[in-house]
């Protein structure tokens, strides 16, 4: 039986140890785009260990997740006290919701 991209993504989140960036990208690219409004609320966070330094940084600060109070009111990481926005952004030829940080060179893409 074939699994959906969503099921495959969940399975990746349950793996321990390092995972290849290409494996995460392959699944991510198959996920459907989402509307910003569907992200409103509190979300538990997670990070794939692809060897990127951001994974260790999030682990070090005990990052718990994100809270989307509104399209223009986001708590991305408790230690960052900046302005963030939810916007529709084209990424890998798909328009979906992204969180744009005002004072950091970071864009979180969601599907």
Tell me the per-residue pLDDT of 74-98, one tens digit each, with 9 for 90 and over. 887 755 656 778 889 999 999 999 9
Average pLDDT over residues 6-31: 93
Tell me the domain boundaries of the chain: 33-109
Q: Which fold has domain 33-109?
A: Lipocalin (2.40.128)
- Which residue would you say has higher pLDDT here, 30 or 55? 30
pLDDT at 31: 94
- pLDDT of 30: 95
pLDDT at res. 32:
94
Alpha-carbon gap, residue 83 to 57, rounded angstroms: 20
Q: Is the pLDDT confidence value at 29 over 90? A: yes
Give the model confidence (pLDDT) of 32-66 as tens digits: 999 989 999 988 888 889 998 888 887 777 777 88
Neighbours of 104 (CB within 10 A): 12
Q: Average pLDDT in the 8-27 region? A: 93
- Do the bridges between strand 94-101 and strand 84-91 make them parallel or antiparallel, or are there none, so unpaired? antiparallel
Q: Are 34 and 99 in contact (CB under 8 A)?
A: no
Say if pTM beats, i.e. exceeds, 0.95. Answer: no
Look at residue 60 in the predicted model and tell me its pLDDT: 74
CA distance 11 to 111: 16
């Amino acid at each position: 039986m074939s699994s959906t991209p969503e099921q495959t993504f969940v399975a990746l989140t349950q793996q321990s140890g390092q995972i290849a960036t290409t494996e995460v990208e392959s699944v991510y690219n198959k996920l459907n785009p989402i509307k910003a409004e569907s992200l409103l609320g509190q979300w538990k966070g997670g990070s794939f260990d692809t060897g990127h330094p951001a994974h260790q940084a999030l682990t070090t600060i005990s990052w718990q997740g994100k809270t989307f109070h509104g399209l223009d009111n986001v708590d991305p990481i408790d230690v960052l006290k900046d302005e963030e926005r939810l916007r529709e952004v084209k990424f890998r030829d798909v328009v979906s919701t992204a969180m744009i940080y005002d004072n950091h060179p970071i864009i979180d893409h969601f599907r």
